[in-house]
Every structure is written in C-alpha cells, then in structure tokens.
Structure 1
Amino acid sequence: MQISRAKSKKSNPNLLSLSSVKMRNVRVSSKKSSLLTRTLYIILLFAISIFFFLLYSKDVLEDEQNPLFYNDFQSNSNPHHQSEQIRSPVHFVDEQLRASTFSRDLRPCVKPTARYKVAQESNRYLTVKSNGGLNQMRTGIADMVAVARLMNATLVIPNLDKRSFWQDSSVFGDIFDELYFMRSLRQDVRIVKELPKQLESAPRARKHFGSWSGMSYYENMTHLWREYQVIHVAKSDSRLANNDLPLDIQRLRCRALYHALHFSPPIEHLGKAHYGACFKLGSDFMAVTPQRLVERLRSRGGQYIALHLRYEKDMLAFTGCTYGLSDAESEELRIMRENTHHWKIKKINSTEQRNAGLCPLTPREVGIFIKALGYPLSTLIYIAAGEIYGGAERLSELTLRFPNVIFKETLATQDELGAFSHHATQAAAIDYIISVESDVFISSHSGNMARAVEGHRRFLEHRKTITPDRKGLIEVFDKLDSGQLQEGPYVSNIVKKMHRNRQGAPRKRSGPPPGIKGRARFRFEESFYQNPYPECICKS
C-alpha cells in the first residue's frame, strides 16, 4: 500500500508541485497578515500619542478670555513626587523677556470716526479740581476732557490735589506739558489756562458729578448752563462710565491720556524721549524712544522687570494689612488710619483682608512669586515705588532672592533727581515712564498705578504685564510657612499654571461680576483705563 502511494506520487509530479505552492502561499499570507498587524498597531500607538498630546496642549493654548484658577494643592502635595518636568529657569526667563508683547496684529486706534465734528467756540466754562495721586489725577483729567466735550464747554486747566498723602505742591505745568496738552486737543475741546477776568468773581455751580455716569446723565446736566456760565467740578476721578459710551468719546479719552497728557519736558527727558512728534492721528502710529534712565537700565542688563512694590506706609495703613509686622508697626498704621479723615473705614480685620487677596504682597512674597515664575537670580528688577515700609531690613527679604535690584535713586544722580525732591507726584511720573517701557511689569497690588500702567501697556502692543493672583498665592505662601510645601519645581509649576492667563494678552474689557445689579455694578466693572480694548485698539 505504501509502495503504491509512493509510486503514485512519483507517477504524478504535478501533485507534489501544487502542494508546495500551497504551502508557500500560506507562509506569504501569514507574513502579510503579521505585517498588517504590526502596521495597524503602530498607527494605533501614534493616534493615542496624538490624542494625549492634544489633551495636554489644550491647557497651554487656552485663550486669556477663559482664565485658569488652579487651586489643587491636595492631589500631590509631596514635592518629591513629581511627574512633570520643569524647564530650566534660564531658558524660561529668555522666553519670557523676549516674548514681551502679545500684539497679535493689534494696534492703537484713536482716530475719530467720520461723524466726529471739530469743537466749536464756547463761552461756558468747566473748572476742575483733580483729586488723588498721579494716576488718579491723570485718568480724571482725561475724563474731564470727555465731559467738556459732552457738555460743549471750555475746559480750564485743572488744579491738582495738594491734600493727598504726599501733599505735593506741584501745579499742572510741573507735571504735564501744558501747551502741548492744549494744542493737541484743540480740535476736540477748547482748553484755556484760566478763566477770563470777567468771570473770576461770577457765581458758579459747584457740582459733584455722579460716579461712572453715562451720556444721559451729562446731557441732563446741561440744564445748569441756563443759570451759570461756570461749573466747578470738585472731583475728577471716575466721573465717566467704563462702558456704553459713544465710540468717539471713548477714543477721545485715549487721545487725551496717551497722546495729549505728556509729562513735562524735565520728567520726559530724564525718563525717556517724548513721543509727540511721532504720533499721527491719520495712521494711529505711536513710537517711543528710550533715553536716560531707561537707557541706563538697558545698558546694565539689556532687559528688566519693573516691579511696582506697593509695600508703602500709606497703602498698608489704608488697607489695614499688618501681616508680618511687629506690634509697634501695626499700631503705627492703625493710628495713621484713624487720623486720616477721608479714609472712611477705620476698623479692619487684617487676616480677613489678606485671605481675600486685598493686601499688597510683602517683599518676601514677591521674591517667592518671581522666583517661582522661573526668573533667575541675575534678573534686573527696577523698583517703582516710594519708601518701602520697614526700610532695607524689610526689602532684604526680596534682595536675598534677587540681589540685582535698583531704584531711581541709585540709577540717577543727585543733581538729576534734585528738581523732583519733595515732589512725590513728579517722582512717581518717572517710575511710570520706566514701568511702561519695561520688558515685564509686575505689581504687588492692584492700585491706580498698576491699572494705569497695565492699560497703557495694553495700548502699546499688549506688553507683558503679570498680574499676581494674590488670593490664590496666599494659599501657597501659607502652605510654605507651615511646611506643607517647599520652594522648588512643584511650587513653581503651581504658580506658573495659576498665572498662565494673567500676563496681559489681548482680551476685551470685562464687565461686573455676576449677581451685582443696579448702579453698584459700575463700580465693579473693569476700568476703561486698565483695558481700553476694543474701542482704542484695532486689528491691523
């Protein structure tokens, strides 16, 4: 039987050949199947990798209009167990300082619309007392230019506040370029240095215009012209609404503040060259050329941070913030608050203020914050501030982390600063100029200076302005103090995430928080001068 099969195979070679072909086909088919499986597996891995990359990148690419509030301190509180790598500080600071603007094809946009008419002669006059410090007066003056336009009045050069904390005796011409102010706005509002002689003794309406008032309010106020030729405005700050005003009025406010209200030549010359000759309404172009103090800063480090360290006696007394102070210092501040008549709130719970994020960051806290953002020890920091409460000892809590700290008093000569001695408002103007020109601006408290500088930097290509989330940072600082956290990559990661969308990128001005109704909502809207977008900033 076996011999018979063998003979059969030998007698039929085609049968053997067919069997071999079938076996080879099976092996080829098996190889193709294996190759297809491996290909599908690689494609699947690649797809999963892309998915996780996009999932991770989503947070990085979030728009600033959707702020991130990162408060998860419990999920991985052990700083020795970290899964995310942190970039080296030197690499981070290079990126941060080089990418110092967020223009996104946006530019200053203050040209009047086609409907705007040249100002007419008016024999009605508006006299003004500008109250507050430098930036409160500046924004108030810009408001009064717009109010004069709305009420068809001639604006008399405002009188400046001499009763503020600094009791500065400066007049308008000491701080601002008076003639340039008058000339540059001549098509918008008629401005004169003083009342005509025949009206000096004339009766006038003395008026406290309502805060954050709109068009209809000022249209109604024109009834005063029936009885008076002069209206005196006792306060200039926050007299205009932030929103819902005609586009031409909003742009007039920007022209008044950013173009017409130059600092006086001595201040501009010491800080930087003035930019009036470079401003053209037709092209909406403004250029600045650094000079003197800004140039000296750049010669030392090329790039610098301007830090508005609002750890000053008046601010601490006003806010009632005594964290980290001695009993004697706390009592000194309490007495100052009690004796300042126009400060309405006398009794303040310091702990509640701090927990709510209403206190200026201390020099130590600022040092921790800037270090956590990734800036290295060598970073050049210009301190835009008056005298720090507690002096050099308190300031050392910052300089231990960042020794390359400089004030205008060490940047300028005594002769250069001599003209500004005993004139705190003029000195503040120098700080303002250097802050606007800086590569990065950081403020330890959201006061008038911080808001004004932020708005000006937004107007000029959205220059990088980091706004500390003080309420969120207090949680970090408290955990550092209690030993639950340690300074290092983990804390740095928390702080960076917390401030990813707080660096001055373009966004429209925000309205009041939800739930606030009636006129009270106007107080809580974002200031027009803190963010003049979209009225004064357009796409190229």
Structure 2
Amino acid sequence: MVIASRNARKEWGYVLVTCSHGPHQHRFQIADAVIVARQLGATLVMPTIKEGLTEPISKFDDIYNVKHFIATLEGVVRIVGRLPEDLRNVNHTSVELPHKITKAEIDNKIRPIFVKSSVIVLNKFLLSMKDVKDERDPEIEAIRCLVQYKALQFQPQIEKLGNRLNNRMKEAAQSLGGKYVAVDYRSTDKACGQRTDNVFTMPKGCLSPLDLGLLLQSHGFARETAIYLTQTRLDESFDPLLKLYPIVITKEYSMPFNEENQFLYSGMTQFELAIDFYICSHSDVLVPIHSSTFYTALAGERIKQGFTHMLVPRLLRIAREAPEATSLTLGVPRIVTKRLHPAYSCLCEQGMSKALALVPSSPTSR
C-alpha cells in the first residue's frame, strides 16, 4: 500500500514544537507534531525542550541524537534546524493539541489557523482519555510507531552515562547474589500509607519509604536486592527503607563526580528525567509506583528491549468488616500478560513491517 501523493505540492509554512515533562511525554508530543506537520504539508522545525517556568529552554541535541532523528524521519516530514531569519522575530500562533490527534482534527481545527499565519507553535498538549480505536489511520499509526520506538534516541553522552550507572547497579546486585530493581519513586510519593502489624493500607494510593520496603519484602525480594530509585537523593526519611534494603542507589550516589554538575546541578530537570528513563528501561525488574505516562512509555521501551519483567502495584481488599480498606501487592501487568501495550503491535515483525510500509522512503514520494 502506497500513500497517495496528496502532499506533492510544494511545502510551505513551519511547525514549531516545544516539548515538556520529560522523555515519556516527548514521545507522544513529537509524534503528534510530526503528524501535524505532515498533514499540513509543512516543515517541522527541530523541537525545543522546556520543563519548568524557571528553567532555560534546552536544545533538542542536549537530550536526543539529532542525526538519528532526522535520518529516521527522512521521507516522512521535512525537518530544519531553525526558522528562516525573516520569520524569527514574527509573533507565531500557539495551538492547543488534543491527545492522539486525528487527520480530521488537523484539517478542521489547525489548518485554518495555519493558512492564516503559515507558522504555528505546538506547546500546549492536552491529555485526554478519548477512545480513538475507531479513528485509527494506518499512516498515523505508522508514524507514531516510527517516532516512539525508533526516531527518539538519547544523545551518546546520556546513553554512555546510563550504561555506566546501569552496569554499576548490576555489579552491586551480582556481588551479593541479588537482583537489580528500578523503582520509579520520588519524594512526592512519601508519607501517605498507614501501617498496622506490617500490613499497610493505601487510602491515598501512595507509599512512605518504609511501606515501599515492606511491599518489596512481601513480594519476596531479598535483602541483597539492589534498588535504583528515581528519587534524586536520599534524606533521613529513607532510613527505614535502608534498614530493610541497604543497597539503595540514587543518581547523586552513583553519578561520577565530573558529571554531577552537568546533569544534576545544571538546573535542567530534563537531564535527570532522561537518565531515569534510560536506567528504568534497562533494569532487571521495573516497579512503577504509580500508573502514569512515565510508566506507559517505559513499558513500551522495555518491551522493545525485551525486558518485560515488570511488577505493578495492585490494590486488594483486606477485611470484610472494612470494605474500604485495601492493601497493596505486586503483580505482572496485563499489558504484558495480554500483550495489550501498543508496542506489541508496533514491534511485531508483521505489524511493524506493514506499518512502516505506509511511510514513504524518500522525500520525492511526498
């Protein structure tokens, strides 16, 4: 199946995109930006990255491999490093983008704006729970697969550091005969659980450091288990966890001194999130404390790498006389056991080959 030459006309106009909230969100945001630019027949300007209001805007190549990104999307969308000089100081129209945008939404909502301004900025991505099963378009799905599971590759320095930290974790675990577990846990998750006789209830769905330790212990993780926490650094509140699991490692503890200033104290959260994403996608076991886009993106990356050993918290009722009371256990996610994650359809030999066949292999086919 070949895409029709509806975009054979000369390309005009530009789409800018500012990504935010870490690599797990970038995958969805950039995929939508590529889809929008392609549908409009526009040129995509190399994405920029923004985290908090007080943080500087990062260049795309601070986090990602630019050459790989451009080469992977050759023939899908035209990409330039920056706007032409005569357009840089012009006010550009900001556009809100629904989650998993469709061609109809692009044509009906975005194209009229684009026609008037010829330069639009995508910097407001609206998450939603809409079901798009009946709206799936083979071309769009192919592009999503291409961006999320092939085009976005971390720049070499981040991969090198991630591999170094990953190897340290494996060595720490193997030296004591234990496993290496990455736990997506940050300080905002603390002090919500209530324990009684080593059984903890989860009225608010979050864990204290001690409850995290008890959860891992209840699932059979030995004291010798090496744990990587996405928490940047430990304080005294983590002492109860350390009594149960003394090998708890964070970025601050494990990062080489000469790279701390560059990655931990640069004032740019994106570096820390990229390192967390890389390590969590390569660990022996992943335990995500919350169901989130971070976990969803991580699960896809782990499925791609073949690291499907993931355990997710599950709430269970613990007393008939108190039906509202729940305890937490760990279980293999249904997205793995039932192969429900989109990565499976993207990466299966037949599915990926069919999907990518819908994407032209050279710019001349546009």
State the TM-score, normalized to the length of structure 1.
0.54
Q: Is the 8 A contact 1:137 1:236 kept in 2?
A: no
Larger radius of gyration: 1
1:397 to 231, 240, 243: 240
- Deviation string, structure 1 residues 438-461 (Cα, Å, up to 9, x no partner): 111001222332222122213333
Which of residues 118, 129, 149 is equivalent to 1:258? 149
Distance 2:58 2:89 in 1: 25
Instruction: Confirm or deny that 1:153 pairs with 2:42.
Output: yes
Q: Supply the AA of the counterpart residue of 1:149.
A: R
- For residues 131 and 42 of structure 2, the distance between their equivalents in structure 1, rounded to whole angstroms, comes to 19
Question: Of the candidates 345, 349, 366, which is equivalent to residue 535 of structure 1?
Answer: 345
Q: Is the 8 A contact 1:293 1:411 kept in 2?
A: yes
**Partners of 2:60 and 2:94 in 1: how far apart?**
21
Match of 1:368 among 214, 220, 224: 214
* 2:226/2:247 contact within 8 Å kept: yes
* Partner SS for 1:400: helix
Name the counterpart of 1:507.
338
Q: Secondary structure of 2:342's partner?
A: coil
C-alpha displacement of 1:395: 1.0
Equivalent of 1:355, from 203, 224, 227? 203
Change (3 A) 1:249 1:418: same
Q: Does the 8 Å contact 2:31/2:147 carry over to 1?
A: yes
Pairs within 5 Å for 1:160-179: 160-164=49-53, 167=55, 169-179=57-67
Distance 1:361 1:419, change over 3 A: same
Structure 2 letter corresponding to 1:248 = E
1:382 pairs with 2:213: no
Query: 1:403: Cα distance to partner?
Result: 1.3
Aligned CA distance change for structure 1 residues 500 and 173 (closer, same or farther; 3 Å): closer
SS at match of 1:446: coil
Partner of 2:309: 464
**Mapped partners of 2:260, 2:27: distance in 1:** 22
Gaps of 5+ in 1: 1-113, 273-291, 325-352, 486-493, 510-530
1:308 aligns with 2:184: yes
Structure 1 Cα separation of the partners of residues 101 and 83 of structure 2:
26
Taking the aligned partners of 1:375 and 1:323, their CA distance within structure 2 comes to: 20
> What is the deviation of 1:189?
1.1
Task: Report if aligned partners of 2:193, 2:203 keep a CA contact under 8 Å in 1.
Answer: no
Q: CA deviation at 1:435?
A: 0.7
- Other structure's SS at 1:207 match: strand
Q: Could you tell me how far apart the structure 2 residues matched to 1:271 and 1:462 are?
A: 16
Using the size of structure 2 for normalisation, the TM-score is 0.78
- The 1:382–1:242 alpha-carbon spacing in structure 2 relative to 1, beyond 3 Å, is farther
The CA RMSD over aligned residues, in Å, is 3.2
Cα contact 2:303–2:344 (8 A) shared by 1:
no
Deviations 1:241-282 (A, max 9, x none): 75432133223222212221111221111113xxxxxxxxxx
C-alpha contact (below 8 Å) 1:143/1:237 kept by paired residues: no
- Take 1:219 and 1:241, find their aligned partners in 2: how far apart are those partners? 20
After superposition, the Cα gap between the structure-2 partners of 1:261 and 1:307, relative to the gap in structure 1 and judged at 3 Å, is same
Q: How far has the Cα of 1:172 moved from its partner?
A: 2.0
CA distance in 1, matches of 2:275, 2:79: 26
Q: 1:67 matched to which residue of 2? A: none
Distance, in Å, in 1 between the alignment partners of 2:276 and 2:3 is 35
In 1, distance between residues paired with 2:3 and 2:160?
Answer: 34
* Cα distance between partner residues in 2 of 1:152 and 1:506: 40
Between the aligned partners of 2:56 and 2:131, the Cα distance in structure 1 is: 28
CA gap of 1:460–1:241, structure 2 versus 1, over 3 A, is: farther
For 1:238 and 1:146, locate their aligned partners in 2 and report how far apart those are by CA, in whole Å: 17
Q: Are residues 117 and 404 of structure 1, via their aligned partners in 2, closer, same or farther at CA, if it must alter by over 3 Å? A: farther
Return closer, same or farther for 1:237/1:140 CA change in 2, 3 Å cut-off.
Answer: farther
Matched position secondary structure for 2:71: helix
